[in-house]
Amino acid sequence: MFNIEDIKKTLREEDLKVLKSLGQNFLIDEKVLEDIVAAADLGPEDVVVEVGPGMGTLSFALAEKCKKVVAIEKDRKMGKVLRKEILEKLGEKANIEILSDDILKINLSEFLAMRGIKKYKLVSNIPYYITSPIIKLFLEAEIQPEMIVLLMQKEVAERICAKKGDLSVLALSVLLYGEPEMARTVSHEAFYPAPKVDSTVLKISNISKKYSVSDYQKIFRIIKIGFSSKRKKLVNNLSAGLKMEKIEVEKILSDCNIGASARAQDLEVVDWVKLKDLDSI
């Protein structure tokens, strides 16, 4: 459904409203849709989890390429309409399942286990306001997706894909699990209603857990302390946050080949891994 008038007609006939509180912006650009599906590199045995299917434009496109689409829609009224649309278009053997629930409130492990899902890809046009929680939820999940493809706010995607010198807690949170890249930029005009900012198709591949649960906890703790004050040097943040003498922290940084004048945003993942045991010294 790429015609704005058709979308308006459906909203009117089904007594639906575009809920700004849920970040509902419907994709109306067919080329963008094709690029999202292409980025997901789907095969006939792939299972896709989709968050926020809305009117199902992406859901139907994904279903043509994969074994099954499991979509979670918080707007129960929208979910009901989408189920009816799926039944009308695909019949009883439809390979799209709609779950009316809040993705951030469900138990993801149970959700996947109940459906026998052991391998899947996350592909979604997600509401901007839950971008970070969604990424965190799936990257830290017991069963991680093989790949993540998200249509999301351009500014956030740029932060995630930042290079050394501009890294943030968000970027590092992704890099610790996978490899992010921006597949393409999407104009705000590709949506109805049009948001105020442009979007990006973000792809995260080679997803895995490289460290133990306890090591991840240590790494994230040190990262958060290191970024506690971006204007200050890393040595000062670590010294204050860990209640260690500055000279002692400087020695540790030197042993890790990290300069005394470095700031948190200058460090790469490998540097933070080296520092993970600092708080246990």
What is 87-118 written as a DSSP string?
HHHH-TT-SEEEEES-TTTS-HHHHHHHTT-S
Asked if 200 and 244 sit in the same domain, the reply is no
Residue 238's CATH number: 1.10.8.100
**Residue that finishes a domain, picked among 188, 205, 222:** 205
**Mean confidence (pLDDT) of the chain:** 93
| Total count of domains within the chain | 2
Residues 179 and 271 both lie in one domain: no
Structural tokens at position 64? 């043509």
Q: Do 185 and 224 reside in the same domain of the chain?
A: no
Q: What is the model's pLDDT at position 280?
A: 65
User: How do residues 181-203 score in pLDDT, each as one tens digit?
Assistant: 999 999 999 999 899 999 999 99
Res 4: pLDDT: 83
Look at 17 and 273; give whichever has higher pLDDT. 273
**Residues 196 and 235 placed together within one structural domain of the fold:** no
* Whether residues 276 and 150 fall in one domain: no
Instruction: Report the alpha-carbon distance of residue 247 to residue 238 in Å, rounded.
Output: 11
Whole domain around residue 268: which residue ranges?
213-280
- The residues that bridge with 150 in the sheet, in sequence order, are 124, 202
In this structure, the answer to whether residues 217 and 125 fall within a common structural domain is no
Residues 6+ apart with CB under 8 A from 221: 279
- Is the domain of 148 the same as that of 222? no
Single-letter amino acid, residue 60: F
- State the helix-helix crossing angle for 213-226 and 234-242, rounded to 10 degrees: 120
CATH classification of the domain holding 26: 3.40.50.150
Residues 105 and 122 in one domain: yes
pLDDT in tens, 28-52: 999 999 999 999 999 999 999 999 9
Instruction: Label residue 93 by pLDDT band (50, 70, 90).
Output: confident
Band of pLDDT at residue 281, cut at 50, 70 and 90: low
Last residue of a domain, one of 205, 221, 246: 205
47-84 pLDDT, tens digit per residue, is 999 999 999 999 999 999 999 999 999 999 999 999 99
CB 129 within 8 A of CB 156: no
Alpha helices in the chain (DSSP H): 4-13, 30-40, 57-63, 76-90, 108-114, 131-139, 154-160, 169-175, 213-226, 234-242, 246-255, 269-274
Last residue of a domain, one of 158, 188, 205: 205
Amino acid found at 202: L
- For 141-158, the pLDDT digits (tens) are 999 999 999 999 999 999
Same domain, yes or no, for 190 and 104? yes
**164 and 270 part of one domain:** no
| Same structural domain, 236 and 173 | no
Q: Are 244 and 200 members of one domain?
A: no
pLDDT interval class at 138 (50, 70, 90): very high
